[in-house]
Structure 1
Amino acid sequence: MIQSKRASALRKLPLAMAIGLATLASQQAFAHGYIESPKSRPFMCSPVGGALNANCGSVTYEPQSVEYVPASQQHHNGAYCPGDFTKCGPADDHIASGGLQKFNELDEQSSTRWSKTNIKSGMNEFRWKYAAGHASAYYQFYITKKDWNPNQPLTRDSFDLIPLLHENGNNNIPSTDVPTKHQVNIPADHTGYHVVLAAWRIADTDATFYQAIDVNIDNDGAPESQWSQIGAVQPEQLQIGDKVMTRVFTATGEQNARQTVLEISNTEQAQAKTWPFLLAEKVNKASAGYQMGQVGADDKITPSYGLNGIFKMAKSDVVRVEIQKDQASMPGTLTLSGLAADYTLNNGTANLHFNAVAQGGKYTIDATVFNSKGESIAHKQANAGENTPHFSLPVTDATAGDYDLVVVAKPEKGELLQKTHSFKLKDAAAGGEYDFVFPDGLASYKAGTKVLAKDGNTYECKPYPYSGWCKIYTPANNAYEPGAGRAWDQAWIRK
C-alpha cells in the first residue's frame, strides 16, 4: 500500500490553517438547489414539497440535483457548451430533467400531469433554496409563449427566449439557511397554465441548475380562486377487487359519514388514469366539504384523467383528506439494489450501502447482518411506512469471512417479506493496491488514483473530464464520495 505523506503532514497543521483548508474544500463542492416558492415541479415531487406530484422517479429524493453538467446525457445540439439556455444546456424534450436520464420522468408534459401554483401577472417573488452553496454567475427566468401547447414536450420553441429576468450572481456564495429572492415580472398577456424555467449558473464549475415551475396565471383582475389545495390523488395502476377510499378529517377528528368508496370492478376502472377520474366524480357529487379535480378558468373543479388535486373552500370545516387503498389482491414484493458480492475491510470496518423497495402495502423494513456463527452483528430499521429506504449499515469489529444480510419488511397487515444477501468480507491485503484511504490526499487525486473507501471497496478515479470531480468532497457535501455519494459513479469506478 502506498502511504499518503501529504495527509500525514496536513494532520500536523495549525488549527487556523486547517480551518482555512476546510473552507476552501467546502467552496470547491458542487452546489445544489431548488425553487421552493412558487414550488417547482421537482420540489412538489418530494415529501418536503408536499408530494403533490407522483411517479417522479429518483428526483423525489433529490429535487436539488437537477444539474446540467458536461457529463449529462442529453445536450442541446448534441454536445456540452457553457452558454445560457438560448444556445446551450439540456436538449429539447429533456429541459425539465436538466438533460439527466435519471430524472427523465420530469420531462413528461401534458396540461394535467403536474400540480400547479396559482400566481398573478406582474411582479412575483421566486425563491431559490440551497442544499449546498457555491459561487453564482447568474440567475435567469424564462416563460412559455402565449400560444405554447402544454400537451407537447418542452422545447426551446415552447419558450420566449428573452428572459423575464437576468440577474448577476456576482460570484456570491448563497447560504443554505437563507433562500435568495428574485423579483420576476410575469407578463400581463400570459394567462392560464404556463411553465416558468429557472436557471442558476455556477461561476467556477461547468454546472447550471434548472427548475421547471408549473403555474396558473390570473391576469384579468378576477377575484382570487375560492379554492385552496390540501392534497392530491396520484395515479397508479390498480387491480380488479381493489378499493379506494377517502378519509375526511375536521378539527374534531375523522368523519366516517363523509367517506367515499370506489370499488374497482373491471380492468378499465383499474387503469392508472381512469380510477382517479371516477373517484373525483363520485366525491364531487357527494358534497362532503371538498372537491377533487383540476381548477378550470371559471374557478370550477373538474375531474381529470390522471392527477387530481384535493381542494376546499375557506368556509369548509375539512382540514385534511387522506386516500386509502385496500389492495389485498396485490402480492407483496421486496427488492434490494446496490449490494456487492464482497467488501474489503478497512480497519475492521465495512459499510453496506443499499436500497430496499417494498410494494403491496405499508411496511416497516429492517436490516440485520449475521456472521458465520449466526450472531447478529449489525442492525438498522427504517421508519414505519417508509417503503423505499436507503440503508447505510456499518459492520464494525469484523474479520474476513462469510456473512448474511437479512432484510425483512413487516406489513401493517398481510404477509411478511424477506430477502437474504450473502457476501464476503475480505482483508485489505486481499483487496488490491490503493494509493490513499479516502479522503486522505484529496487535493492530489487525478485520473487513475485508487482509494480505499468507507464501504471497504477500492475505487479508481475516472479519466478526464470526470477526474476533477474525484477531489470534490467535504463531510457536508459528499455527492461524489466513492460508494456513498448520490453521484459517486460519475467520478469513480469500483474495482
Structure 2
Amino acid sequence: MINSNRTRSFLKLPIVIAMATAGLAAQQASAHGYIESPKSRAFMCHSDGGALNKNCGAATYEPQSTEYIGRPNESGFSHFPSNAQACTGDFLQCGPANGTIPAGGLLRFSGLNEQTASRWTKVKVKPGPQNFTWHYTAGHATRYWQFYITKKDWNPNQPLTRDSFEKTPLLDQPWPSLTTPAPAMGKTHHTVTIPSDRSGYHVLLATWKVHDTDATFYQVVDMDIDNDTGIPSNWVTVGSVQPEALTIGDKVKTRVFNAKGELNAKQVVLDINSAELAKADVWPHELAKKVNAAKLGYQIGMLNDKDEVVPNYGQNNILVNKGSEIVNVMIAKEQAAKPGELSITGMQSEYTLKDGKVELHFNAIAKNGEYTVKATVFNAKGESVAFQQAPAGNTPHFSLPLNNVSAGDYDLVVVATSKKGEVLQQSARFTLKAEAGSGEGGNEGGNGGEGGAKYDYVFPNGLKSYKAGTVVLQPKDGKTYECKPGAVAGWCTQWTSGSNAYEPGVGFAWQSAWNAK
C-alpha cells in the first residue's frame, strides 16, 4: 500500500553545481537530464555512455528523456495509479505504473523496463558515501532529488515495482530555490550513502522532480556493490559479449590480446549455422560454452556466488584469472555476404506531356552494399532519350527531365553497380500521353512520389528550414510527410545519419513529429 500522507523529510546537504558545455552528440528537443556518474542504465545505452547496454530502443538516442508527465490519458504514458492527476507527490505516491519505472512510464522507452539478474551492465561501487552526478541538457526550476535503493531481499528477475525499493530514500535533497532552475548543460553532484548491509546486484532509482512542469525524470543505476563480505574473486574482466541478432552464415570470433599484441592461437570461432543459434540471446551462451571448454586462459559468462564462471543467455563478461598475460578480449563478427537488392518506387504508369516535356520523380533503393546508381530512359525504338547518374548514396531520389519527347511507351532502366562489381537492374514501363495537361516539373517542389504529391524538399535536403507545415518526400519509401504544428515542429529538424529517431517514415519516433500525407 502507498501512504499518500507520507511527509517528506529534506536532508540539508550541499549541492555542487559544475557548469559544462559538452553534451550528447545529438540532443533532442525533448532533452532534459540523466545520471552521468555512476553511469545509469539509460546512459550506458548511448554511445557517450560507452554503448555498454544494447537493444535499448529509444534510450539509445535519448537517455535524458525518461520523463513522467503526471496527466491522465496522455498518449504514450502509463500512470500509477490509473486515475492519476498531475503528479505533485514523490515516487511512492504517484508516477509511472509498477513495471514501467525505469522508462518513466513512457512506452517508447519500455526497453529499459526489462529486468533480469544479467540483462544490464553493472557499475562497481563500494558501500558508504558515493557521488552521483546528474547531467542536464535543459534546465528546470527544481523541487527535489530523491535516491532509492532496492531491498535486501529484492528479486532481480522480476520487473521493478515500488515494493522492490526501500520506502525511505537514501537521500531526499531539495533545491535551494524553487524559482532558480538547475543549470542547462550543467551538472549537480549528490552524496548518496550506499548501505553497508548491501552487496552484489542492487538497483538505485534516482528521481528529479521539477517545479515548472508536472514532470519527474527517472533514472536507474545498476550497481554491483563490492562489500568485501563474499568470497574474494580470482577473476578480472577483460571484455564483454553483447547480444544482437545474427544471420545464418555469420561467424563470431574471439580476438585475444596480451601486452605485445594479438594471440591468434587462442581464437575461438563459432559458426552461426541455424536460425536458433542466430538469436540474440542464444549464440552468446553457445560461444561461452565453446570458449570455456577450450581452456585457453579466458572464460565467458557471469560469476556466481562461488566465484565460478557460468555461461549466460544474453550479455556475458569475458574474464581471466588475476595475473594472466591476457589484457583484452574482443568479439568480432564476420557477416555472411548478402545478395544485393534494388527497387524502384514513386514511378507512375502514365504521365501527361506539356510542351513535349515531363519530369520523372522516383527513388532507386539499393541494399546490402555500396552502389553507383544510374538511370536511363528508352523509347519504343530502343533509343536512349535521358540519362542520369545519382550522387553517392544507396537511396537516391531522381528528378529526371524528359525534353522533346512524344507520346508512346517508354522504359526506365535503373542499374546499380557495387564496388565489388555486382550489377543489379530494375525496369519500369510507363506511357506518355499527348493530351495537353497540368503536370508540373520541379526540383525541390513539384510532382513527387506516387500520384504526383507535392512537397517542399526531398528529405533531408533543406533540413534546417523545416517548420510546421513543411512537406518532404522521403526517398526511402517514395511517400510524403508533413511536419506537425506546435512545439513538436522542432523535432522535424532533429536528424543526423547516426541519430534518426524523428526521420519521417523511418525513425522509431517519426509519428511524434510528422503526419503521413
Counterpart residue number, 1:120? 126
Aligned-partner Cα distance in 1 for 2:417–2:54: 23
C-alpha deviations, 1:328-363, integer Å up to 9, x for none? Answer: 3x8568799xx9999xxxxxxxxx9xxx997xxxx7
Cα deviation 1:302-353 (Å, max 9, x = unaligned): 221221112345633333322233453x8568799xx9999xxxxxxxxx9x
- CA displacement, residues 31-60 of structure 1 (integer Å, 9 cap, x when unaligned): 333223222222222333333222223322
Say what the alpha-carbon RMSD is for the aligned residues: 5.1
Aligned residues: 422
Amino acid at match of 2:212: D
Contact persistence 2:375–2:415 (CA under 8 A): no
Q: Which amino acid aligns with 1:101?
A: L
Change (3 A) 1:454 1:165: farther
Deviations 1:433-488 (A, max 9, x none): 9xxx999999xxxxxxx5336879784756xxxx5555799999999999699866
Instruction: Name the structure 1 match of 2:77.
Output: 73
Alignment equivalent of 2:98, drawn from 92, 104, 115: 92
Which residue of structure 2 lines up, in the alignment, with residue 36 of structure 1?
36
Q: State yes or no: 1:189 paired with 2:197.
A: yes
The answer to whether the 8 Å contact 1:370/1:378 transfers is no
The CA distance in 2 between the partners of 1:266 and 1:380, in whole Å, is 33
| Cα shift at 1:296 | 2.8
Alpha-carbon offset, residue 221 of structure 1: 4.7
Q: Which residue of 2 aligns with 1:451?
A: 469
Greater relative contact order, per chain length (Cα 8 Å cut-off, separation 6+):
1
Task: Confirm or deny that 1:108 pairs with 2:108.
Answer: no
Normalised by the length of structure 1, the TM-score is 0.66
2:181 is matched with which residue?
172
**Aligned counterparts of 1:310 and 1:107: Cα–Cα separation in 2:** 25
Shift of 1:288: 3.6
Match of 1:54? 54
Of the candidates 278, 283, 287, which is equivalent to residue 279 of structure 1? Answer: 287
Distance 1:280 1:135, change over 3 A: same
Residues 1:199 and 2:217 are matched in the alignment: no
Query: What is the TM-score normalised by the length of structure 2?
Result: 0.64
Q: Encode CA deviations 1:209-265: one digit per residue, 9 max, x unaligned.
A: 222211112234568755443432123455666543211123322211111223456
* Structure 1 segment 316-355 matched on structure 2, within 5 A: 316-328=324-336, 331=338
Secondary structure at the counterpart of residue 246 of structure 1? strand
Q: Which runs of 5+ in 2 are unaligned?
A: 1-27, 349-361, 378-385, 404-411, 429-440, 448-452, 457-461, 475-479
Which stretch of structure 1 is more off in the superposition, 234-243 or 36-45? Answer: 234-243
1:490 is aligned to 512
Determine the C-alpha separation between the residues in 1 that align with 2:188 and 2:425. 46
**Is 1:234 matched with 2:242?**
yes
Whether contact under 8 Å (1:438, 1:451) holds in the other structure is: no
Name the stretch that deviates more: 150-159 or 305-314: 305-314
Matching of residues 80-479 of structure 1 within 5 Å: 81-83=86-88, 84-130=90-136, 132-137=137-142, 138-169=144-175, 170=177, 171-176=180-185, 178-221=186-229, 227-237=235-245, 242-263=250-271, 269=277, 271-312=279-320, 315-328=323-336, 331=338, 373-376=386-389, 378-379=391-392, 426-427=445-446, 431=454, 451-452=469-470, 459=482, 461=484, 467=486, 469=488
Q: 1:30 to 1:284 in 2, by over 3 A?
A: same
SS of 2:42's partner is: helix
Matching residue's letter, 2:164:
S
Aligned to 1:25: none
State the Cα distance separating 1:94 from its structure 2 match.
1.6
Q: Secondary structure at the match of 1:97?
A: coil
Q: Is the 8 A contact 2:299 2:309 kept in 1?
A: yes
Structure whose CA Rg is larger: 2
8 Å CA contact 1:240–1:264 kept in 2: the answer is yes
Equivalent residues of 1:143, 1:163 under 8 A apart: yes
Decide whether the 8 Å contact of 1:369 with 1:378 is kept in 2: no
Aligned AA (1:278): E
> Relative to total residues, which structure has the larger helix share, 1 or 2?
1
* Structure 1 counterpart SS, 2:118: coil
In structure 2, the residue corresponding to 1:161 is in which secondary structure? coil
- The structural deviation recorded for 1:298 is 4.0
> Distance between the aligned counterparts of 2:188 and 2:52, measured in 1?
24
Give the distance between the partners of 2:227 and 2:427, measured in 1 at CA: 58
